[in-house]
Structure 1
Amino acid sequence: MLRWPSLRRPLDVLFLVACIALTADVLVPEIWGNGKTKDYPLWFWAGQQVLQGKALYPADPAATFEFIYPPLPAILLAIPSWFGKIPLYLCLSLLNAAAWWMTSQLSNAMTGSGRIPGPWVAALPGFATVTFVFDMFDLGQPNLVLLAMMLLGFWWLQNGRPWAGGCMFALATAIKVFPVAVLPYLLWRRRWATAASMIAFVGIFLFLVPAPVRGFERNIAELSTWYRGMVGTSSEKGFGQRGEQNWSWVNQSIIAVTHRLTRPVNYNQDDPAKPPRTMNLIELDFRTANWVVLAVSLLIGLGFVAVLPPASRVTRLSNAEEVAILFCLMTVASPLARQYYFMWLFLPVTVLIHRAVVDPRPAARAATWGMLALAGGLMCLSFPVFSVYLQAIGNNLAATAVLVVGLVWYIKNPPAVNSDITDSRT
């Protein structure tokens, strides 16, 4: 089911045109304008720091970090940075384009239906998430590439290559930490080889790969500084070096929304020029709010475990649905879940679109289209014409919950055994 783009297919041509336009959004300001902004100059800076042997982080973990990722991404950025800004920006744009194509291909191949979808069905998730893709190109963020890595890891896992799958999960984790949330799932499902591979390769990518470039002792010191500054900090002001974003409306993680609902935190704090605004329903202290977050997270985790069918009853359909739920949970479990993080809903949306098209039950198909429309409507509340209050209360988080409800329903209510889409056990 996986294939290359073809100039003979109109939708593939449209995809290529979109990629060219999005790449132009990156390169034109740099070549003919005042220079590309957002995160692109930071990536070039990080690559140059490695090339020149300079520090990636300040000596004091409490100081502000310019670069908030582990050392490995800086090592990878150094390669195209050696050629200059334009080659680096072009390389990142091509990576995003390839990741976009692979995300669509893998998501459509992993729905469990065993069917090659029609071109419009296959393309519909891409249309539904195109604003997130624009953010990936415009901002220069790696979340789309990480999504393709995680999907490829699951594709390899499901096709008898557990060590390769674990390696891909590890690479995504070593670039941006939040994909580590896949590890508890692998352990619960007793994917021992994949879990062992992931743990081993995380160590390799974090400790061994940067060592020849940065030096072993220096890399350890930088990892220690990064960990203390990013992972080991948490207070009422925020966490992970970006306190002004942690409690503001831009963050729709479970942690952030829970704190905004239980504490009188200013959700306008990302912009000091804006008047302070709060939205809490009750008033708790920071410590108690963290206990609420822990309780909510535990309930969600236990609910996910309860929904999972036993290994003897797993089918390709149910496996696709549980992996799609996992992607939803990994998205909202990240401490910082900005708008573009919800690009990771691509797989859940794809799975539900397939169910809405091929499920033999008319009522189920109609209800699934209704759920997809509701989730899409909630996501549209992020457009600038609406108040940021709607994002502060978690419109994308609510959309994710709607998708999860639909996926859970399909796990608990599979098609009849004699249905033409009932598939074999995995």
Structure 2
Amino acid sequence: MTARQDLFAGVALLVVWAIVTLYRHWGLWGTDMSALYWAGHFYAQGALDQIYVGGQDFFWEIPPDEWLALTRVHGASPLDITPYIYPPIWAALLAPITQTLDPHAFFNLTQGINVTCISLSVWLAWRIFGAGHVPFWQWAGISVVLLQLTMPAVLALQLNQPQIAVTCIVLLAFYRLCAGHSKSAGAILALAAAIKLSPAALILLFVMRRDWRALASFAVFGALFASLSILGTNLDLHWQLLDRISLLDGKILVSRINYSIEPFIFQLVELVQGRADFFITNYTIFDQPVWMGPLTKLALLIGFGLVWWITRRHPDPRKLWLQLILLAPILMILSPLAWAHYLLLPLFLIPGIFVILPQRQAILWLVLILVLFSDTLWQILIETQMTVWAPLILGVISIGFCLKSLAIWALRT
């Protein structure tokens, strides 16, 4: 198969997947995207006090009256909306769109963008790994299987998650990095962090690679985007955002889709002390023990050092692929909010195992990932009595097992 035929076959696979996926999700309510729509709507109406409205917790059990009233007008339930926790600039930019499109049209538009971003992410991950090492049609085929069967991908699409677009931007940043364009890599990663703060932690890869130009570019463009947000909206909205985020300080969130190691360790301690409750039925927030913060920071420092040590002698582009697929999950599980859809980034990189491992081992590894992160298994677990703890415990253990296996291979090679 020629290079052109290979590219055509891979693109054809992704186009078919995109059409089928968009058809299946067309007209569905976008729960997580609703936060951006309502924030844009309230910004357009001048009701700035409603953008970051909420109770004493980071999330809400009952939405504010104004949000709830608008939701009911469009036939949705209180469970179909989530609070807005993004920078104010995005509410301002979306405000004109919310005055033109109703929620359903907006969700269809953003779902189309998400499906496009996923398709582009598959190509970017392939280029980061090194296009000459594996046929694109094979990479795309494995990716489609993962996208169809794994819970993080299925959930992200069902929720119409902005994380999909953020992941695509992050992959674009590191594609530019491996192409030798450090300044644009830093600028693009800063854009991703301007949408969601979590990608900012990936500057550790710039530090690991001693790419000070990329780090400086990130700092400059990060400051630029922050300034534009403040000048484009107002400073008070940014203080309100910080107030919402501060509600998580000293707290542990237990949720069936939060794969942070903090609730996992917390429950182990509770189990030893005879206070563990495995049968809570909804997300729960506990006070964080004073030792938890220093412990996770120490674990992050150790994880960063191990990734550098393990990958230091690997050649690029494999080194960058290894650093991304190892560091991204470590940063994820060591943060207070480790949503399952954050696994999209390593998910896009997984097809590379068919190059680094013998084919039989790679197939076994892929099957194991499909089982451990199966959407079907997740659905079964949330129907059990341990509806919250069972998927959380399995998720944390599975991520740890995959990281350990990949790290051992990288160290021995």
1:323-358 Cα offsets, whole Å, 9 max, x none, are 2212222332332123322222223412213334xx
> Could you tell me which residue of structure 1 aligns to residue 404 of structure 2?
405
Between 1:196-205 and 1:256-265, the stretch displaced more is 256-265
For 1:18-97, list aligned pairs within 5 A: 18-24=20-26, 27=27, 29=28, 36=29, 38-55=31-48, 56-58=51-53, 66-85=83-102, 86-97=104-115
1:178-234 Cα offsets, whole Å, 9 max, x none, are 11111122123211111111122222222214523x2xxx2x222122123204642
Between 1:105-114 and 1:64-73, the stretch displaced more is 64-73
Matched letter for residue 99 of structure 1: C
> Could you tell me which residue of structure 2 aligns to residue 262 of structure 1?
269
Would the aligned equivalents of 1:166 and 1:195 in 2 still touch at CA under 8 Å? yes
Q: Does 1:288 align with 2:291?
A: yes
For 1:152-171, list aligned pairs within 5 A: 152-171=172-191
Between 1:162-171 and 1:338-347, the stretch displaced more is 338-347
* Number of equivalenced pairs: 373
Matched letter for residue 391 of structure 1: P
Call closer, same or farther: CA 1:137–1:60 in 2, change over 3 Å: closer
In the aligned structure 2, how far is the partner of 1:105 from the partner of 1:153? Answer: 13
- 1:365 Cα offset (Å): 3.7
Call closer, same or farther: CA 1:118–1:104 in 2, change over 3 Å: closer
> Could you tell me which residue of structure 1 aligns to residue 135 of structure 2?
117
The Cα RMSD (Å) is 3.3
In the aligned structure 2, how far is the partner of 1:200 from the partner of 1:174? Answer: 12
> Could you tell me which residue of structure 2 aligns to residue 253 of structure 1?
260
Would the aligned equivalents of 2:311 and 2:322 in 1 still touch at CA under 8 Å? no
For 1:270-349, list aligned pairs within 5 A: 271=282, 286-309=289-312, 314-349=315-350
Would the aligned equivalents of 2:164 and 2:344 in 1 still touch at CA under 8 Å? yes
In the aligned structure 2, how far is the partner of 1:348 from the partner of 1:180? Answer: 19
> Could you tell me which residue of structure 1 aligns to residue 379 of structure 2?
384
Matched letter for residue 141 of structure 2: A
Matched letter for residue 17 of structure 2: F
Matched letter for residue 22 of structure 2: I
Call closer, same or farther: CA 1:63–1:307 in 2, change over 3 Å: closer
Call closer, same or farther: CA 1:409–1:325 in 2, change over 3 Å: same
Between 1:197-206 and 1:120-129, the stretch displaced more is 120-129
In the aligned structure 2, how far is the partner of 1:207 from the partner of 1:267? Answer: 45
- 1:289 Cα offset (Å): 3.5
Call closer, same or farther: CA 1:112–1:121 in 2, change over 3 Å: closer
Would the aligned equivalents of 2:22 and 2:112 in 1 still touch at CA under 8 Å? no
Call closer, same or farther: CA 1:158–1:227 in 2, change over 3 Å: same
Matched letter for residue 77 of structure 1: L
Aligned with 1:84: secondary structure?
coil
1:20-73 Cα offsets, whole Å, 9 max, x none, are 32441xx2x5xxxxxx26234332211112222322224998786831222133
Would the aligned equivalents of 1:371 and 1:406 in 2 still touch at CA under 8 Å? no
Aligned with 2:132: secondary structure?
coil
Call closer, same or farther: CA 1:64–1:150 in 2, change over 3 Å: closer
Call closer, same or farther: CA 1:12–1:64 in 2, change over 3 Å: closer
In the aligned structure 2, how far is the partner of 1:210 from the partner of 1:23? Answer: 35
Call closer, same or farther: CA 1:348–1:405 in 2, change over 3 Å: farther
- 1:165 Cα offset (Å): 1.1
Structure 1 spans left out of the alignment, 5+ residues: 30-35, 239-245, 279-283, 357-363, 415-426
| Residue number among 14, 19, 36 corresponding to 1:17 in the alignment | 19
Structure 2 spans left out of the alignment, 5+ residues: 61-82
In the aligned structure 2, how far is the partner of 1:45 from the partner of 1:195? Answer: 34
Call closer, same or farther: CA 1:211–1:384 in 2, change over 3 Å: same
- With CA pairs under 8 Å and 6+ residues apart, which has the higher RCO, 1 or 2? 2
% identical equivalent positions: 18
Q: Does 1:367 align with 2:361?
A: yes
In the aligned structure 1, how far is the partner of 2:260 from the partner of 2:58? Answer: 25
Matched letter for residue 23 of structure 2: A
- 1:307 Cα offset (Å): 1.5
Matched letter for residue 230 of structure 1: I
- 1:375 Cα offset (Å): 2.6
In the aligned structure 2, how far is the partner of 1:73 from the partner of 1:145? Answer: 14
Please, what TM-score do these two structures have when normalized by structure 2? 0.79
